[in-house]
Amino acid sequence: MDDRITRMSITGHVVSLTLAVIRVFLCIRCLPSKAFLRVTVTHPRERNRVGKDMSDTNSHSYSAHHEQSHSQHADHAHDHEGPGYLTPQAAIEESEHERIAYVLGLHVGTKTDEPDFVAAVDVDPDSETYQEIVHREMMPSIGDELHHFGWNACSSSCHIGELERRYLIVPGNRSSRIHIVDTETREQPEIVRTIEPEDVHELDLSAPHTVHCPVGGSVMLSMLGDADGDLPGGFFQLNENLEDYERWDQPGEIEMNYDFWYQPRHNVMVSSEWAAPSTYQPGFDMDDVEAGNYGHQLHFWNWSDRTVEQTVDLGEEGMVPLEVRFLHSPVSTHGFVNAALSSNIFHFWKEDGEWMAEKVIDFEGRDHDDWDMPVPALPTDILISMDDRYLIGSNWLHGEIWMYDISDPANPRHADSISIGGYFGEIRAVQDRELVAGPQMVQMSLDGERLYWTTSLYSTWDNQFFPEEADRGSVMLKADVNPRRGTLTLDEDFLVDFGELPKGPARAHEIRWPDGDCTSDVWK
Amino acid sequence: MHVELVRADGRSDTVTANPGKPILDAAERASVTIPYGCRTGACSTCTGKLRVGKVEHVRPHERSKITSFERVSY
């Protein structure tokens, strides 16, 4: 028995009694050569589970709706007292060069037994501490796996004068803790409250992911699992006081969950699918793909009724649809989603009252000596520039940052790329700092002229595909963007090294600006 | 009951655990830091190799799992 390798969850195990062999321990370092062998999942479900016509927002009534929306918003200019910007274009015009970036730093899955943290990174070129992590606000407990985070208020509440974009909602995806961080002092964010996992579990929810700030001050979080980390997931709504909370959806309305975005004028929310926490948290296992344990659907919700009106199955080429991004324009019904495992980008839109989705970008796998199959690109993050002109994303395994012109959203046109890091990136180091992973989470300046990214995906997945990152830490890098010419240029003078920290190397994940950014602000 | 927790680098701590209670509780009582995340047995952060002895895996919420019928009237 001594030599028998078992996967043993100490948390839920009871000493003595009988040995339960849970599962053969995953030989994670073997995985890259075996992974992605057979993506042959079949999808017997209909493409559109519910073809219900949203007649109040269909294309025939679109113009009238648009007109009405305009009249409702005609007093914008003299009414604006709340957080954010009146329009996406106002955000471009009025924003200043970002000075502080909030970046989630993680010690989860490293040799450092320390909590994860919110890093304040100086990104002001005129500052003496430019490119330095000027503050790390440590979370109270180890093991959170901070992942995505968001604001208590954004541009969707631009009329609500008493609201302030001040509090970051910072969930631990692995722990189900939800932290409230006060950014009144921008360079020194301070944790003020934590909602404990037991309280989250009371709602039969776990594994918080995306944070959005809908109209009116409440905060919505997508939750990927039930209290046990199994399905179904759902949505957690934190009230404006950031103390009270409730479950937003009826349990079982969806099974899998991941990211979501909403367009208030169209009364629609779209959510995507990763997998149950008990599936993805231990690490990637190809058997789970073959068993149908990974998602491939988009759910279009009636925002006010909190019900799914239509589910679109993306099929075999749409495996693991992750980040859903509507165009920023509040009148648009166009958006994009990255099907990470299939390495495709889908365009979705509304036509004749029905939501449609179509593959518009297909990244081909590439041969690698250490793999017995082509290495998939794995596009793990996307964003849309604030002017709705470019779709930008990262191919984590291949090592590529790419930029597509989406002025015709049905026909994206490749504008530029940077080949960097990952398995195939041409640039292997920045300022002699070896890159041990590919580009992952991306964030863009509001004016669309600077793009930043980090390199960690998820601790257990990092350890499978880029195991060196646990010992070397992540990096934060930057490219200069010319939105007129459609070009990306690596800023070789910019490097924030999360491998050089007092407590030990850390992973770095999502990036946010204090005054709103391309992946959090929504307009009403 | 004593439980020895051995790390990959060879360091070890011995904690006193109560039968029927999680090993994590014993480690926390002794201020011994071990990797963990979800506390429900889902995320596998605390996965380790069983060197000797016996354990039982109990996921805390499963006993009170809501049935699909009950969900209808949630």
Contacts A–B by Cβ distance under 8 A: 171
Tens digit of each residue's pLDDT (9 = 90 or more) over A359-396:
999 999 999 999 999 999 999 999 999 999 999 999 99
Q: What percent of chain A clears pLDDT 70, i.e. is strictly above it?
A: 84
Question: What number of other Cβ atoms are within 10 A of residue A40's Cβ?
Answer: 8
Tens digit of each residue's pLDDT (9 = 90 or more) over A266-314:
999 999 999 999 999 999 999 999 999 999 999 999 999 999 999 999 9
Listed by number, the residues of chain B in 32-71 with a beta carbon closer than 8 Å to a beta carbon of chain A are 33-62, 65-66, 68, 71
CB-nearest partner of B37 from A175, A227, A276: A175
- Contacts of residue A18 in chain B, CB cutoff 8 Å? 54, 56
- Contacts of residue B38 in chain A, CB cutoff 8 Å? 11, 174-176, 197, 206-207, 229, 277, 281
- Contacts of residue B74 in chain A, CB cutoff 8 Å? 250-251
- Contacts of residue B36 in chain A, CB cutoff 8 Å? 10-11, 142-143
pLDDT bucket at A81, cuts 50 / 70 / 90:
low
- CB B60 to CB A7 under 8 A? no
- CB B1 to CB A11 under 8 A? no
In one letter, which amino acid is A366?
A: R
- Contacts of residue B26 in chain A, CB cutoff 8 Å? 15
Three-state DSSP class for residue A280: helix
Would you state the pLDDT for residue A154? 86
- CB A176 to CB B38 under 8 A? yes
CB-nearest partner of A228 from B34, B59, B74: B59
Q: Are A122 and A495 in contact (CB under 8 A)?
A: no
- CB B43 to CB A281 under 8 A? yes
More reliable by pLDDT, A302 or A164: A302
Of A462, A444, A465, A443, the residue nearest A454 (C-alpha): A443
E-state strands within A248-366: 260-263, 268-271, 297-302, 307-313, 321-326, 335-339, 344-351, 354-362
Q: By CA distance, what is B35's nearest residue in A? A: A143
- Contacts of residue B20 in chain A, CB cutoff 8 Å? 14-15
Q: Are B65 and A228 in contact (CB under 8 A)?
A: yes
Report the C-alpha gap between A45 and A519 in whole angstroms.
31
Would you state the pLDDT for residue B56? 82
Q: By CA distance, what is A225's nearest residue in B? A: B42
In one letter, which amino acid is A305?
A: D
- Contacts of residue A251 in chain B, CB cutoff 8 Å? 66, 71, 74
Report the C-alpha gap between A72 and B28 in whole angstroms.
56
Own/partner contacts of B8-16, CB < 8 Å, gap of 24 or more, are B9/A111
ipTM over 0.95: no
H or E element in which residue A221 lies: strand A219-225
What average pLDDT does the segment A500-514 reach? 96
Using a cut of 0.80, tell me whether the model's pTM lies above it. Answer: yes
Instruction: Measure in Å the smallest separation between the Cα of A29 and chain B Cα atoms.
Output: 16
- CB A281 to CB B34 under 8 A? no
Instruction: Measure in Å the smallest separation between the Cα of A281 and chain B Cα atoms.
Output: 5
Helix (H) and strand (E) counts for chain B? 2, 3
CA distances from A440 to A52, A192, A362, A457, A476 (A): 36, 29, 18, 6, 10
